[in-house]
Chain A
Amino acid sequence: DGGITQSPKYLFRKEGQNVTLSCEQNLNHDAMYWYRQDPGQGLRLIYYSQIVNDFQKGDIAEGYSVSREKKESFPLTVTSAQKNPTAFYLCASRRRAGTGSGNTIYFGEGSWLTVV
């Protein structure tokens, strides 16, 4: 099946640890995104990438890092600098930004991160 795969679905982090969330897409999309969703809140953009080896900070990038070494992969690392990391994380992708169907963004199933 074509789509966006996030793993793991559930992850527990100890204080001071870095953890990495995986996001893989086989849709041949150029752009990929990471969003954070807190209970009762909308989606907040962490990082996005429009092309391999390039990425941009979103609205809440502090305490997070990403890489885009391959078109299909966009992993997110939650570092120990992120003081309140407990949230639901969503990865998304789209063919390209511009007009028409290339604008349509598709989401993965999400990953829950909890600090213990």
Chain B
Amino acid sequence: EIVMTQSPATLSVSPGERATLSCRASQSVSSNLAWYQQKPGQAPRLLIYGASTRATGIPARFSGSGSGTEFTLTISSLQSEDFAVYYCQQYNNWLLTFGGGTKVEIK
């Protein structure tokens, strides 16, 4: 099983600032890495797939990078609606795994 580790667990950021979230895989997942956003009481929403491709309708302030075992999600200028929990997920093999999540909270 590929273990996905996200850091930090909680990120305190002021509106308008940049947020950088990390995700590490226990073995290479190539670029088969997705990021999801989840708000309280809602289902996860796909933000990024293929490590760096934004899903349909996702604003350009969200960007993803990395390959292999190290990945980053960057939110360039946090808006009020971006405060949420973010999960990474690898889909490189049939045993799909998620990270533990990073909560982005208002500083």
**A, B in one complex:** no
Interface positions of A (Cβ within 8 A of B): none
Interface positions of B (Cβ within 8 A of A): none
